[in-house]
């Protein structure tokens, strides 16, 4: 099923012509209205007039997470503050978050892309979609909500948590589709299993849209079996409107990325050089329809590849593979994006803690931080250690919103690495 058949199946030459037109408009807009972008363009010796063909995008500068943070809160806006309608921020950045503003039109385009995603997997106005992602600054709640409403489905904004109540709502209101993170899906499966087969038979559940975190094909298969649903992969990021950037269709052979809204490139994460379809590298995205805060060549740091060839569904928008990893050291734990530097900053602000630390993530989504204490404290009394442990736990919880286990270790126990230290030991096998 199609939401906008003509646009979704537009032949490649028309689609690329549309991309070029929109790229030129977007480049002219940021060049004319955002001093920071004008400076970046000038540093690259380029103006919007250099964009003669789609390939000329490689002449434009990249935008990084750092650029967004430097321009916090609103210096990348191309319009007046009062013409924006909504703010979302990305979780887990060191220091200030990445703030993204939306106009009415921007929200409408984002919701429309989500409507395409849901429709291609069979959702209609007869469906009931229970949105189990947090509502708030995170895009997984509100953006999906708007997209599902556009289709006309009944949306239950249940948000994450309170699993017994989630199951009650599913039963009472005949939920057919759920939207959730893989980590919450695993938890939900556990609770559902405990309720027994008879309870599952009462539910009308058919599909689960899963994203916001990396997960493997194995996890997907496991959840399909436990929840008895079809799981569709959904990729997106706050900087690019949140969910609805790329999504699996009914054939589930990669995720279609909506190329009339974004130009995608795959580059070598080290050199920034473009790679051909089929090769893995870092995904770079340029917004083509954003009014309030367009972003040029954004370095997502997500590793993937463009799948060559046509999809059986007839859509011409190319597909990307499941996300294969990150080009930086960010990890996502229970839906929260975390950078090791955040943890480091907290540890370094506390007395009696050495510079060396390690972060362990285990299969049950638990996080343990091993922290070396100073020699001086090690000679001291044990009560002091308990206090320090508690203090560190609380401070970290306030920073990353997750309560870690703190393991204090003797000075000199953690290996001192030569070169780049390995801080994160991810035993969850998610890629």
Output the residue with the shortest Cβ distance to ligand DLL. 211
* Smallest gap from residue 301 Cβ to ligand DLL (A): 7
Query: Cβ of residue 354: shortest distance to ligand DLL, in angstroms?
Result: 31
Residues at the site binding ligand DLL, with contacts judged by CB under 6 A: 90-91, 133, 139-140, 211-214, 233-238, 242-243, 300, 302, 323, 332, 337
Query: How many beta carbons lie within 10 A of that of residue 281, not counting itself?
Result: 23
Beta bridge partners of 130: 156, 178
**Helical segments of 122-278, H only:** 139-151, 163-173, 182-195, 197-202, 217-227
Write down the least CB distance from residue 201 to ligand DLL, Å. Answer: 29
Residue 23 vs 117, nearer CB to ligand DLL: 117
SS3 131: strand
353 or 367: CB nearest ligand DLL: 367
Closest by CA position to 207, among listed 148, 138, 256, 137: 148
| Pair of tokens at residue 162 | 């309170």
Residues 158 and 169: beta-carbon distance below 8 Å: yes
Q: Which is nearer to ligand DLL, 119 or 238 (CB)?
A: 238
C-beta atoms surrounding 168 within 10 Å:
12
Give the residue with the Cβ less far from ligand DLL, 333 or 388. 333
Residues 6+ apart with CB under 8 A from 77: 34, 84, 101, 292, 293
Contact present, 35 and 74 (Cβ < 8 Å) = no
Q: Please state the closest distance from residue 64 (CB atom) to ligand DLL, in A.
A: 13
Of residues 41 and 235, the one with the C-beta less far from ligand DLL = 235
Q: Select 202 or 429, whichever has its Cβ closest to ligand DLL.
A: 429
Only one residue has tokens 């007039």, namely 49
- In the bound complex, what is the minimum distance in angstroms from residue 255's beta carbon to ligand DLL? 8
- Our CB check for ligand DLL shows the closer of 100 and 128 to be 100
CB of residue 337 vs ligand DLL: minimum separation in angstroms? 5
Structure tokens belonging to residue 417: 């690495």
What is the closest distance, in whole angstroms, from the C-beta atom of residue 404 to ligand DLL in the complex? 19
CA 132/CA 294 separation, integer angstroms: 29
Cβ proximity to ligand DLL, 91 vs 358, nearer residue: 91
Q: What is the closest distance, in whole angstroms, from the C-beta atom of residue 241 to ligand DLL in the complex?
A: 9
DSSP 379: T
Query: With b meaning 16 or more CB within 10 Å and e meaning fewer, what string describes 284-317?
Result: bbbbbbbbbbbbbbbbbbbbbbbbeeebebebbb
């Amino acid at each position: 099923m199609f939401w906008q058949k003509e646009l979704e199946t537009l032949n490649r030459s028309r689609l690329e012509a549309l991309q070029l037109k929109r790229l030129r408009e977007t480049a002219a807009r940021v060049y004319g209205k955002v001093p920071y972008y004008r400076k970046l363009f000038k540093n690259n010796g380029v103006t919007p007039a250099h964009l003669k063909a789609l390939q000329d995008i490689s002449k434009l500068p990249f935008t990084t997470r750092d650029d967004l943070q430097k321009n916090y809160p609103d210096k990348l806006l191309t319009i007046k503050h009062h013409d924006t309608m909504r703010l979302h921020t990305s979780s887990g950045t060191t220091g200030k978050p990445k703030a993204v503003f939306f106009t009415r039109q921007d929200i409408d385009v984002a919701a429309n892309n989500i409507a395409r995603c849901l429709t291609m997997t069979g959702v209609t106005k007869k469906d009931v979609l229970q949105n189990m992602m947090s509502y708030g600054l995170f895009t997984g709640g509100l953006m999906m909500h708007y997209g599902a409403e556009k289709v006309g489905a009944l949306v239950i904004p249940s948000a994450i948590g309170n699993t017994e109540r989630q199951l009650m709502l599913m039963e009472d209101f005949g939920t057919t589709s759920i939207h959730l993170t893989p980590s919450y899906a695993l938890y939900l499966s556990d609770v559902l299993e405990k309720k027994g087969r008879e309870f599952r038979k009462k539910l009308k559940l058919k599909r689960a849209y899963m994203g916001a975190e990396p997960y493997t094909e194995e996890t997907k298969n496991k959840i399909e079996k436990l929840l008895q649903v079809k799981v569709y992969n959904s990729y997106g990021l706050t900087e690019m409107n949140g969910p609805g950037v790329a999504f699996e269709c009914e054939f589930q052979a990669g995720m279609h990325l909506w190329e009339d809204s974004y130009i995608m490139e795959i580059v070598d994460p080290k050199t920034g050089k473009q790679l051909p379809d089929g090769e893995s590298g870092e995904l770079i995205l340029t917004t083509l329809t954003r009014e309030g805060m367009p972003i040029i060549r954004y370095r997502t740091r997500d590793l993937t590849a463009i799948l060559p060839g046509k999809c059986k569904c007839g859509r011409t928008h190319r597909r990307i593979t499941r996300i294969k990893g990150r080009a930086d050291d960010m990890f996502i734990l229970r839906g929260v994006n975390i950078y090791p530097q955040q943890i480091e900053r907290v540890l370094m602000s506390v007395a009696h803690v050495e510079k060396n630390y390690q972060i362990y993530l285990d299969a049950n989504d638990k996080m343990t931080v091993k922290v070396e204490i100073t020699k001086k404290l090690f000679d001291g009394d044990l009560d002091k250690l308990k206090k320090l442990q508690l203090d560190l736990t609380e401070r970290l919880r306030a920073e990353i919103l997750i309560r870690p286990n703190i393991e204090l270790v003797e000075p000199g126990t953690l290996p001192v690495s030569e070169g780049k230290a390995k801080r994160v030991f991810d035993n969850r096998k998610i890629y």
